Structure 1
């Protein structure tokens, strides 16, 4: 219905390019639907609910959602305030045994049903239990039904108050049940089925971490048939890598026993490719102390980390995003019309400046040493050189002998400037 009824309306309104009109139209749909339901003898809340369903089916639902975003928090707050105010404490006190029993019975029955449905759709036990606890509370739409039933005389005021109290208390208790579940429910452990732990391995190069960086780095070694051993702690990644023909062993490189089992004591080089600077520093510390024969190549998190690694005595370090960022900048220049050789020259100049700045920082100047060597967007402005908006289709032609002599003059640019 939202497609056939509302799309034509919102398509016309969208052409006006006024967000206020779209917001007003959405409000009109809600109020109109609520009014029609009231005229038909039903609840206005039911009409508002149906209006929400219609709007959710419209192709303009994302725009409408963005327009009403500022009001959502306020209206949600008002809704829960009204829910709290609808709780009659006197009724709860006088019927506490009935209400308490009904709350627990409702949440237990609903939770069991949700758990069974979740298991039928092959959810794991922890997932099904988590869903059962979260969804065991009464729904907000119950208040609409209770009000409509009371207005129609189906239930009296006392029953309405009791039912409302049951739903409200179920909402109040749900966060506490979730806390209890998380505290006492054992954390689910990933299955190690099909995953081999590092044990008795050997290889010329030990690669620690096989994420995006390690995957690309390994290609150069594998292209020369270098004997590599790869360890990682991400079980999902290990399984995914096996689908592409890689053999990855499970192992935490920050543990000395794992490094021994991975063949670090016989490796010619250890490549630390993880993106955790603290863990990388820990591995560097262990490797320098226990495996002095191995060359250490480390992925650096940032400039400060690079300084730490050099001070720790690694053989090679590289910032994980530096080269890609330099190449990206050069590509941007080419896309803007700069010649490729000029873009490459600028990229090399950036590398040279960065290396010189790094030397100053290593000399004890700190991260701010050589900051003036960076190009900034607040430095002195260079006078722009006039250029045509489009390339001329043909060269200029002199209309007479005098202008021909001017065009041929070698200092024409100086006179024009």
Structure 2
């Protein structure tokens, strides 16, 4: 029963840390991420990344992205698909190129340098979603573009990773399947995205009506979770991120007449229990082993990771017609690497694409970008609001 004590400790510490963060004018996410670093191997060593914590955290990020999909405006997502594509593509190309070059300055091999570029090309939108929700900025044009771009971003990162593993790696086992024929994998993923249209349009509304007819408590919410976990599993099974499936499940359920009651039921489940564990689990990966030896490598990679996303995604947004202020907010929303980069780093480490002596330094850089991202996003949203306020004053 030790895991019950661990869960209790995580929940109380994240509640207090989140409260202190908000009182200091910071996003609650910062306190929750720092809780993982303090409780984990980096400092106190009271909590470790056990299979229980990992599974619980995975449920947390799936529920978080389902909530994001539930609150997303499908019409806005359709409207901003071109900017999302531009933001994602430039936000992948720049990190891959610059971090590849930076890594070679530290005498990493060509393959390892390229792999690091791919690792930092991925975006963990789940951190940004938490901040956007907290500041009620999720359903604006910038928030919508960030969500759309993050989905494209994850798909691109997974495709590049699949290609690298096929060309340079050993037989790497991901959470879904062994490295197989790349062409077949791409075809299956294409079919998945095409079939999402059928799921959103017809299947989910039908399932929700069936759920409504069941004579059990909260049957509608139960059916929505079945849809969420089912699509998350399918996405993971074909080699995509589970969060992509959960996000589209949220969008599909959000189009039905039941979205308000589901949102009201899901929020307490996610925010009270599962999501805090997810944020803590990221902090648990932090370690100060060899920190001083790799200090400059960590600093350079962290700065490059932040700057390339800010610039790449920001320039993509500007080309798509956004202002520089909006471009900065969108870029800030794409900075966080979180669980996506951690998973890719782990796959690369297992597949001999990332050496053991650099692994800890790379994990540290990923967590530093994840900690800094919410601060940048919050500051950019406040700057945007200030600019709008000044504009309305001038208009009058």
The bucket for the TM-score relative to the shorter chain is 0.3 to 0.5
Which structure is richer in relative contact order (CA contacts within 8 A, separation 6 or more)?
2
**Structure 1 length-normalised TM:** 0.38
Structure of larger gyration radius: 1
**Structure 2 length-normalised TM:** 0.40
More helix as a share of residues: 2
